[in-house]
Structure 1
Amino acid sequence: MHVEFTVTRTHVKRVLGLLATAVVTMIALGSCTDSSGKQEQDRTLGGYSQLVARQPSQTMNYSPTRNTANFWINTWNKPGKLSYVYLQNSDGEILGYYVFKGLPVPYCVSLTPPDQVNGSGNNYGVVRKAPAVDGVYYGEGDCSRYFGMDATTGAYVEYTAGLGINVLLYDQPLPNNPNVKPLGRTRIDKDGKPVTQ
């Protein structure tokens, strides 16, 4: 079967006319959107400027937040430091504990940047995340799953937080909890020392 299609000047004129109409319509709609979007942006920024002029931000002579962040650094900046991880249900009952060498680490931690920059010369244009103060990158992956190293055996341990399970993390064992069972290979003896089960 052979089909013949003939393009006439009339067809070409109609197609060009439709394309021209489409281009004009898109430009008109684009200018309306840009105009109204710019008005909204100007209104928002203008309101912000008025609020800043009336209520300028204050400055602090001392930062309790920075002090606590430095306390975290000083607490965990010790090789071999033990962490005590207690899992608690939604009723407040402690289900058990792990003793880790170092801190538990969520799966959303990476040793390398989570993004990749492609390009060359001045064509990069990507803002990359900086590593946190502990030298790792946060935010990619499953942040509800944690892993760590058992304190006395070096065994790999993994657990999940969320869905009614809360995590209590300490740098010392909780006192007066003799009935809380160890979940890993390390238990806390009566003197508060970690020992292999």
Structure 2
Amino acid sequence: MKKFARMAPATVAALVVGLALTSCTDSGQDKENKAKQDNYDHLVAQQPAGRMEYSPTREAINQWIKTWGKRGKLSYVYIQNANGEYGYFIMKGLPVPRCKMLTPTERVESSSNGVAVLAQPGMDGTYTSGSTCNAYYGFDATTGAYMEFTVGTNQSFFLFDKPMTMPEYASAKQLGPTSVKDVGQQP
């Protein structure tokens, strides 16, 4: 007990010196971050977030899960080019952006010098900048053929879980091996 009593004044003195040094070294950025946090706390106290009785967003996400969470579900991908013309692919499952990975793309390392975020190679042993998010790929519904397409630069795609009958889609040209007639009306 006496040992603790002797340490207490030294600990208090070190704490006071440490706090004094910290307050002297606050950067402008630290002060602005504190002001931003203080303002946020004030606004939350004055205007707390409302409470919803029902979430349409959660319902939509759950419906998405019901729609696409089944093995064998087909997707109908309609592509519109710069001239307003439509074509379509029928794929097994959803088209996947090429920037999606099954393994982490970064690793965080901490040391006494700070924190570093290091890039990790993909499954093919190469590194990517993540710039392939406008390229999508998938597999044809009947042949399993690999298909890839890009969006942007006057090309858009529209994704449905069944064939569309609206005029612009009904006259779309078949772009892949499988036609709507080949798969019929899959549920």
1:7 maps to none
Over 3 Å counting, the alpha-carbon distance change for 1:35 and 1:148 in structure 2 is: closer
Question: Does 1:56 find its partner at 2:48?
Answer: yes
Q: 1:126 to 1:76 in 2, by over 3 A?
A: farther
Q: Which residue of 1 aligns with 2:20?
A: none
Asked if 1:150 is matched to 2:137, the reply is: no
In 2, distance between residues paired with 1:54 and 1:159? Answer: 49
1:104 is paired with a residue whose SS is strand
Residues 164 and 170, structure 2, Cα contact 8 Å, conserved in 1 = no
1:104 counterpart residue number: 95
Counterpart secondary structure, 2:179: strand
CA distance in 2, matches of 1:37, 1:93: 52
**Could you list the runs of 5+ residues in structure 1 that have no partner in the other structure?**
1-30, 120-124, 128-138
Give the Cα–Cα distance (whole angstroms) in 1 for the partners of residues 60 and 31 of structure 2: 43
> Which structure ranks higher in relative contact order (CA pairs < 8 Å, sequence separation ≥ 6)?
2
- The Cα shift of 1:144 comes to 0.4
Percent of residue pairs bearing the same amino acid type: 48
Query: Cα RMSD between the aligned structures?
Result: 3.0
Residue in 2 that maps onto 1:115: 106
| 1:42–1:63 distance in 2 versus 1, CA, 3 Å | same
Kept after mapping to 2: 8 A contact 1:114/1:140: no
For 1:60, the aligned partner's letter is M
For 1:167, the aligned partner's letter is F
Report the Cα offset of residue 151 of structure 1: 0.5
More strand by share: 2
1:80 has 2:43 as partner: no
When residues 92 and 52 of structure 1 are mapped into structure 2, their CA distance, relative to the original with a 3 A threshold, is: farther
Contact 2:89 / 2:175 at 8 angstroms: preserved in 1? yes
Whole-angstrom CA distance in 1 between matches of 2:148 and 2:183: 26
Residue 54 (structure 1) shift? 1.1
Q: How far 1:49 sits from its partner (Å)?
A: 1.7
Q: Is the 8 A contact 1:110 1:140 kept in 2?
A: no
